[in-house]
């Protein structure tokens, strides 16, 4: 095995290419990182905001299940559902539950497209948008973010 030694002290072509490739790679990486750092969006997982939304969804599910299963077979399911919603209101017409905004969205959807009664089967389907506002860990900056949750409630019940 013959190893050719360069006696003049001149750098070999392989070392030159390695140094140039490393230099180009470092410059390109710095350029890409500087460009992308300006366009990064923040994705934050907030356990507090999600926990609040899920607990509101469970409470809303409880109230709506209670109303849905108390609707009789009188034939007018919409008016009976409205009466069921009214049992959670005070004398001023405000909801007495801890989720009044979510229940008020139900009231605006009480029509034939969300509640149907066919052949003894009651079908109820509501879409509720829940919003929770939370703050970043550093409250001194006053930065907040919103978490939107689209909740779909469905109830099917065979009425006697």
Q: Evaluate whether residue 90 is within a structural domain.
A: yes
**Between residues 36 and 23, which one has the greater pLDDT?**
23
- The pLDDT tens digits for 50-95 are 788 888 888 888 888 888 888 876 667 788 888 888 888 888 888 8
Does a structural domain hold residue 12?
no
What is the Cα 85 distance to its own chain's centre? 26
Residue 24: inside a domain: no
pLDDT confidence tier of residue 48, bands split at 50, 70 and 90: confident
Q: Is 19 part of any domain?
A: no
Whether residue 26 lies inside any domain: the answer is no
Our CA dihedral for 64, 132, 150, 124, rounded to 10 degrees, sits at 10
Q: Could you tell me if residue 63 is inside a domain?
A: yes
Residue 16 resides in a domain: no
Query: Is residue 27 a part of any domain in this protein?
Result: no
Paired with 130 in beta bridges are 149
Expressed as residue numbers, the domain containing 86 is: 47-158
Instruction: Collapse the DSSP code of 129 into the 3-class scheme (helix H, G, I; strand E, B; otherwise coil) and give the result.
Output: strand
Question: What domain count does the chain have?
Answer: 1
């Amino acid at each position: 095995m013959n190893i050719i030694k360069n006696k003049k002290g001149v750098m070999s072509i392989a070392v030159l290419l390695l140094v140039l490739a490393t230099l180009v790679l470092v410059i390109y990486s710095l350029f890409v990182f500087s460009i992308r750092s300006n366009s990064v969006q923040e994705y934050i997982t907030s356990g507090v905001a999600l926990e609040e939304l899920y607990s509101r969804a469970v409470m809303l599910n409880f109230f709506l299940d209670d109303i849905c299963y108390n609707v009789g077979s009188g034939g007018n399911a919409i008016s009976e559902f409205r009466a069921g919603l009214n049992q959670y209101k005070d004398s001023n017409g405000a909801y007495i539950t801890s989720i009044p905004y979510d229940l008020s969205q139900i009231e605006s959807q009480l029509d034939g497209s969300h509640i149907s009664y066919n052949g003894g089967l009651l079908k109820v389907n509501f879409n509720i948008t829940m919003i929770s506002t939370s703050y970043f860990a550093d409250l001194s900056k006053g930065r907040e973010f919103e978490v939107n949750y689209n909740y779909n409630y469905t109830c099917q019940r065979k009425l006697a």
